[in-house]
Structure 1
Amino acid sequence: MDELQEKRRRIRELMQYAVPDSQTAEAQDLLVIFRDDHFALTVLDEFYQFLPDAQEDWVKELRLVSRKEGVLLLAAVASVDAYLYLISSEGIEFHGSLQEGYLDKDLLNFFGFSSAEHFSEQAINIAHFPLYEPVQTDINTCPACHAITHEEHELGCPVEICPWCGGQLIHCECRFTQLDQEELTTEQDVIRFEEILQEKGRLVYSPEQRPSFADDGPGVEFE
């Protein structure tokens, strides 16, 4: 949780320079709502570090434009415009103003938008996109890798269940047994294990897997 605490501290500090005094309380309320949500805090951190229009502004709400396989397209709704951020456990990318309604072809295809015109039509009205819920309150989202119900976890997610023994996949001994070796030390080992795991059949995320607390996030362990 140290990383989240550092993000919250930095966001509060940046807010002092970015948020108009009259909106400070509301901006801070949003920070409290998402205090334990890694993705939301990353978006807020990015917004306040690099104000898109280089002027005082604040984030009123976050909207979920689309999501797939642990990759989210979020809109940070500010006082004048809304701004698109593509975010996953790999990092964050800024994709401009929602009013411009532009996504490149690869992202349109990935998120299932039939055309640029289709996305632009949706982007005209921010209400087309639901409010983004803190991951701690959304039972249909894995709190560690953000896979949704019936999606596969990101490999290395601490919530994923082992299909062989029913234990926690990153901590059980099955990966060693299946590879017939004592440790995973190379990227090739991980690739081989993923292939074996796919052949066995990975257990997709379901709310029943949800732990009572969120881990710091996915990351394949090498022991």
Structure 2
Amino acid sequence: MEELKKQRRHIRDLMRYAVPDEHMEAAGDLLILFRDDRLALTVLEEFYSFLPEAREDWIKEFRVVARKKGVVLLAAVTSDEAYLYLVSSEGVEFHGSLSEGYLDQQLLRFFKLPDSKSFIELSRDITRFPVYQAVRVDPDICPACHAATGETHELGCPVEICPWCGGQLIYCSCRFDKLGLEILESEQDLIRFEKLLEQQGRIAYAPEQKPGYADDGPGIEQH
């Protein structure tokens, strides 16, 4: 968790230069609310590092525009605008303001959102999108890889259950037993293992899997 502490400190340092004094307390409260949420922290860090309008501003809340397989399209809501960020465990991308209503066709298809014209109309009312909740309080979201209920975990997620033994997939020995190996030495080994998982039937995320605490885990151990 030391990484998260460093990230929070960096965000606080950025906020000193970005947030108007009268809103510093409220902005700090939001940071506390999402103190263990890696996706929210990533967006906060991105926003305060590169203020979209190059002027003082602050994030009041997050809204979920769309989400799929651990990838979330978040609207960072400020005092007079909402900005779109595509965020996952792989990183974050800025996609302009929600009021513009523009979203790349590839993203519209990926999230199965309406066509461009309909999305523009939808974007006019921010309240149509649900408020983003911190993963520790949202039972329908995996706290480690952000898969939603019914979705497959990201490979290497510490919460995923092994379909063969029922243990934690990243720690059990099934990967070695099924591949006939003592060590996973290459990307091809991981690809082969993932195919075996698919054939066996991966266990999708469900709220009852949620542990009291989960970090990112080490990924699939190769030895």
Q: State whether residues 145 and 216 of structure 2, in contact with CA within 8 Å, keep that contact through their aligned partners in structure 1.
A: no
Q: How does 1:30-45 map to 2 (within 5 A)?
A: 30-45=30-45
Q: Which residue of 2 aligns with 1:95?
A: 95
Q: State whether residues 76 and 82 of structure 1, in contact with CA within 8 Å, keep that contact through their aligned partners in structure 2.
A: yes
Q: Which residue of 1 aligns with 2:56?
A: 56
Q: Which residue of 2 aligns with 1:162?
A: 162
Q: Percent identity?
A: 62
Which consecutive residues of structure 1, in runs of 5 or more, have no partner in the other structure? none
Distance 1:216 1:198 in 2: 22
Q: Which residue of 1 aligns with 2:136?
A: 136
Which consecutive residues of structure 2, in runs of 5 or more, have no partner in the other structure? none
Is the alpha carbon distance of 1:123 and 1:101 closer, same or farther for their aligned partners in structure 2, counting shifts above 3 Å?
same
Count, aligned residues: 223
TM-score normalised by the chain length of structure 1: 0.98
Q: How far apart are residue 79 of structure 1 and its match?
A: 1.5
TM-score normalised by the chain length of structure 2: 0.98
SS of the equivalent of 1:93 reads strand
Is the alpha carbon distance of 1:124 and 1:218 closer, same or farther for their aligned partners in structure 2, counting shifts above 3 Å?
farther
Q: How far apart are residue 218 of structure 1 and its match?
A: 6.7
Q: State whether residues 147 and 154 of structure 1, in contact with CA within 8 Å, keep that contact through their aligned partners in structure 2.
A: yes
Q: Which residue of 2 aligns with 1:148?
A: 148
Distance 2:68 2:217 in 1: 17
Q: How does 1:60-139 map to 2 (within 5 A)?
A: 60-139=60-139
SS of the equivalent of 1:182 reads coil
Q: How far apart are residue 28 of structure 1 and its match?
A: 0.5
Is the alpha carbon distance of 1:31 and 1:221 closer, same or farther for their aligned partners in structure 2, counting shifts above 3 Å?
same
Distance 1:202 1:218 in 2: 19
Q: How far apart are residue 63 of structure 1 and its match?
A: 0.6
Distance 1:22 1:184 in 2: 54
Amino acid in the other structure paired with 1:155 = L
Q: State whether residues 157 and 216 of structure 2, in contact with CA within 8 Å, keep that contact through their aligned partners in structure 1.
A: no
Distance 1:145 1:151 in 2: 11
Distance 2:163 2:170 in 1: 12
Is the alpha carbon distance of 1:172 and 1:217 closer, same or farther for their aligned partners in structure 2, counting shifts above 3 Å?
closer
Q: How far apart are residue 122 of structure 1 and its match?
A: 1.1
Q: How far apart are residue 83 of structure 1 and its match?
A: 0.5
Distance 2:218 2:108 in 1: 26
Q: State whether residues 74 and 86 of structure 2, in contact with CA within 8 Å, keep that contact through their aligned partners in structure 1.
A: yes
